[in-house]
Amino acid sequence: MTEGFLPISKNDMFARGIEQFDFVYVIGDAYVDHPSFGHAIISRVLDAAGYTVGIISQPDWKDEESIALYGEPKLGFLVMGGNMDSMVNHYSVSKKRRATDAFTPGGVMGKRPDYATVVYCNLIRRKYKNTPIIIGGIEASLRRLGHYDYWSNKVKRSILLDSGADLVLYGMGERSIIEVADSLKSGIDIKDLTFIKGSVYKTKDISNLYDYKLLESYDEIKSEKTAFARSFYVQYQNTDPFTAKTLVEPYPNGVYVVQNPPQEPLSTEEMDSVYALPYMRNYHPSYEPLGGVPAITEIKFSLVSNRGCFGGCNFCALTFHQGRIIQTRSHESIIEEAKKITEDKDFKGYIHDVGGPTANFRHTSCEKQLKHGVCTNKQCLFPEKCKNLNVDHKDYLKLLRKLRELPKVKKVFVRSGIRFDYLIYDEDDTFFRELVEHHISGQLKVAPEHVSDNVLAMLGKPRNEVYERFKKKYKQLNEEKGKKQFVVPYLMSSHPGSTMKDAVILAEYLRDLGYMPEQVQDFYPTPSTISTCMYYTGIDPRNMKPVYVTTNPHEKAMQRALIQYRNPKNYDLVCEALKIAGREDLIGFDKKCLIRPRGERANIQTVHNQKNKLQKTSKKKTIRNVHKKKSK
């Protein structure tokens, strides 16, 4: 097991006496040896299993020699576009180029290509015609079958075909990568690796498959939106490792892309072993002169306690990537990592976060799930709380208490998502009380996303009254503790199902709250979510009913502007939106109005107000005179 950073140069390779690496790992991010980075986990898992790994970080994709740094690997190339999809990393939802890249030294933008996984693989394939290529990470995982690509506005093929790779390992790949490595080492050809769970491969012969589901062909989903919606929902229903079938997607010329069922979740012991590997918990020191890697700031003093999420929000890709079954680390494992954090020279006494996709999920949603997997056609928290849902914060609370008691720890914050509906469903409010008292740094960020029940139904979120109950309880507990802490709601505009009237409802809610968010998240159609399927097809794949979708940039700008209606720059957009929604009653001088009128209308309104004022003054004078006469 290698101590220190893994090799990133030929000098590192020779210093370790390595003549040829087993695997060369090409990554779109800077090399950060921290378990919050996928490339760090996969390379460390391989290293612990006795395989040598050389890392090529952010190669020059215009020069094929950049991926020939170490020569040809013994077993194959591994490719990962980065911790984020490269297109999300590069572009805002309005498709404008972002100014910085937090996963690159110095935050410099442009050190990786668009569609990085495909470009890197094509680069490798031009240089090494027959060397196995295995791709993974979020970009490959969510593009493993035919998918809608927002940036090109097209239905694209499986990334396996566009990249020229041999295998996709989707989801969390620790177990899969070792199975692949062991198989290749034993002499099995990469083309015969058709049995790995959590993998996708291509073939022209499916005669050996059984108990599989044949999806609509690529040609069908490309040309017919209803076919796309049907295919997507079959994929969505087959994301659980205990119930999923093998999925087969036909392509022209007799090619099939085959998705094996997902890998089973890691046990607590396996999770512990992954996080106990000798990570350096920082970026490679060679990046220091360049300003370091900005992404480390948020995670260096944070702890991962779980994986997976049974929340099942429609706009979230976690169901397709990590799955809905919660996987947890033991208290001992987390405490041990926390102790290492406290020894860091930069540690100031504050653990920034203890959580995962949803911080307060520390066990499976119900006992049934342990035997039969997650339900394929029901959600745990939507539209109502499932009667089988096990709502219990005791284990998470015990963990936080242990962390608070560690020497050198002043405060333990919870900053990753708290699921407020799950929190409010807990009849025992002990955790809620201690969250308020010990684990909030002035404000608690939660994600109601919207307040219109119509839109919330499309988001897969609970009705607004659940959020209101949470806010009321939160306020009560803060008052009891004598604290002035606030709730900061994440809100989303232009999600499928959101009409202009729904956007106005949200604006009115913010008006009554006296709150204008500094940032607004416009819905971002990333690959492999129910919401993206709705966005592209205009169909809810769960019931095949039509859904209102705004794709017009101007209408999206109006919905976004309504959330920030107080910003003078948004005046014209807000005015136009209110007229479209038939809510001109919100343009005026009344305290319930969102904006005041301008121009001729404003003058008319002013004259009208002055006239009313004069009439009221005249009326008051008349009343006073009457009283004077009576008194005389």
pLDDT of residue 82: 96
Q: Which two tokens stand for residue 467?
A: 């959020």
pLDDT of residue 625: 58
**In 3-state terms, what secondary structure has residue 147?**
strand
Q: Which two tokens stand for residue 333?
A: 């494992």
Please answer whether residues 163 and 121 qualify as being in contact, where contact means their C-beta atoms are separated by less than 8 angstroms.
Answer: yes
Task: Report how far residue 411's alpha carbon sits from residue 350's, in angstroms, rounded to the nearest whole number.
Answer: 5
Please answer whether residues 450 and 492 qualify as being in contact, where contact means their C-beta atoms are separated by less than 8 angstroms.
Answer: yes
pLDDT of residue 623: 53
CATH for the stretch 10-199: 3.40.50.280
Please answer whether residues 326 and 280 qualify as being in contact, where contact means their C-beta atoms are separated by less than 8 angstroms.
Answer: no
Please answer whether residues 279 and 33 qualify as being in contact, where contact means their C-beta atoms are separated by less than 8 angstroms.
Answer: yes
Task: Report how far residue 189's alpha carbon sits from residue 166's, in angstroms, rounded to the nearest whole number.
Answer: 11
Residue 207, Cβ neighbours under 10 Å: how many? 6
Task: Report how far residue 393's alpha carbon sits from residue 97's, in angstroms, rounded to the nearest whole number.
Answer: 42
pLDDT of residue 603: 52
Low-confidence residues of the chain, pLDDT below 50?
600-601, 607, 626, 632
pLDDT of residue 628: 54
| Residue 439 phi, psi dihedral angles, 5° rounding | -120, 15
pLDDT of residue 617: 58
Please answer whether residues 49 and 277 qualify as being in contact, where contact means their C-beta atoms are separated by less than 8 angstroms.
Answer: no
pLDDT of residue 632: 45
DSSP H or E stretch at residue 448: strand 443-449
Peptide bond into 383 cis (omega under 30): yes
pLDDT of residue 607: 46
| Residue 18: exposure state from Cβ atoms within 10 A (0-12, 13-18, ≥19) | middle
Closest CA to 320 of 459, 141, 82, 155: 141
Place of tokens 């059984």: 210
- Tens of pLDDT, residue by residue over 152-204, are 999 999 999 999 999 999 999 999 999 999 999 999 999 999 999 999 999 99
**In 3-state terms, what secondary structure has residue 25?**
strand
pLDDT of residue 108: 97
Q: Are strands 246-251 and 212-214 parallel, antiparallel or unpaired?
A: parallel
Closest CA to 6 of 345, 380, 223, 279: 279
**In 3-state terms, what secondary structure has residue 167?**
strand
Residue 102, Cβ neighbours under 10 Å: how many? 18
